[in-house]
Amino acid sequence: MRAYLVDTLAVGFFILEWAAYAVTLEHSAYGRNSLSARMHVYREVWIRRMLDREARMLDMQIMASLQNGTAFFASTSLLAVGGALALLRSTNEALDVLRALPIDISPSPALWEIKCVGLILIFVYAFFKFAWAYRLFNYVAILLGSMPPVSERDTPQAEAHVVRTTRVFESAGRHFNRGQRAFFFALGYLGWFVSPWVLFVTTAAVVIVSWRRQFASKAWRAMGS
């Protein structure tokens, strides 16, 4: 019973850290200085500069690359779900392997299956985020295609279109970031398959690495210069 309490605390710590990091990044004044927030400024810059270009093939090529990258992650999420389902079906074989290790770290079959289900849920969440981001990038491509011509760039309609496109673009980027964040935390979640104590460490490591990339990396400093 005591061991299960440690597992419960470790999973609670994992969920709390994920939620706290996401809320801080997306819904706080501190998060408005993140790398993602700084990049959003350039989304609007890009859209506004499109109004000054007659030829916009380059812009559509950039959009295609964003869509392809998002589609890759969505496909990878499905593969990860399949792998986690296979792990769930192979509970006995996996536990036999763990029991053969010099240090017995094998959990009960029920706890192993709970761990596998949790991993599946994380990758399912990631898939929905990437799939929706892909759909939103499609919408952005349509909005780019309907961008007013250069001759109308100073009209209220052009300004409204820029604002509309930027908001959809920002939403697409936000959902893509959430999907990637799920991937990062899934790596931390794997620590639970070893031990709940390892889950504490791997969760903290994911938060530290993710925070550093958003608020202390060379890319963040470059975007602030």
Q: Which amino acid is at 31?
A: G
Residue 119 has pLDDT above 70, yes or no: yes
Whole-prediction pTM value? 0.90
Residue 177 has pLDDT above 90, yes or no: yes
Cα(71)–Cα(181) distance, rounded to whole angstroms?
16
pLDDT of amino acid 19: 96
Residue pair 83/123 in contact by the 8 Å Cβ criterion: no
Which residues are within 8 A (CB) of 159 and not within 5 positions of it... i.e. 6 or more apart? none
Query: What dihedral angle (degrees, nearest 10) is formed by the CA atoms of 187, 193, 199, 203?
Result: 10
Residue 189 has pLDDT above 70, yes or no: yes
Helix axes 196-215, 156-189, angle to 10 degrees: 150
pLDDT digits (tens, 9 = 90+) for 80-101: 999 999 888 877 776 777 666 6
What is the residue range of 200's domain?
2-224
How deeply is 168 buried, as exposed, middle or buried, from its count of CB atoms within 10 A (0-12, 13-18, 19+)? middle
Q: How confident is the model at residue 126 (pLDDT cuts 50, 70, 90)?
A: very high
* Most distant pair of Cα atoms in the chain: their distance: 74
Copy the structure tokens of residue 82. Answer: 């399949």
3-state secondary structure of 15: helix
pLDDT digits (tens, 9 = 90+) for 24-73: 999 998 888 999 988 888 888 888 888 888 777 888 888 888 899 999 99
Q: How confident is the model at residue 13 (pLDDT cuts 50, 70, 90)?
A: very high
Domain count, the chain: 1
pLDDT of amino acid 1: 54
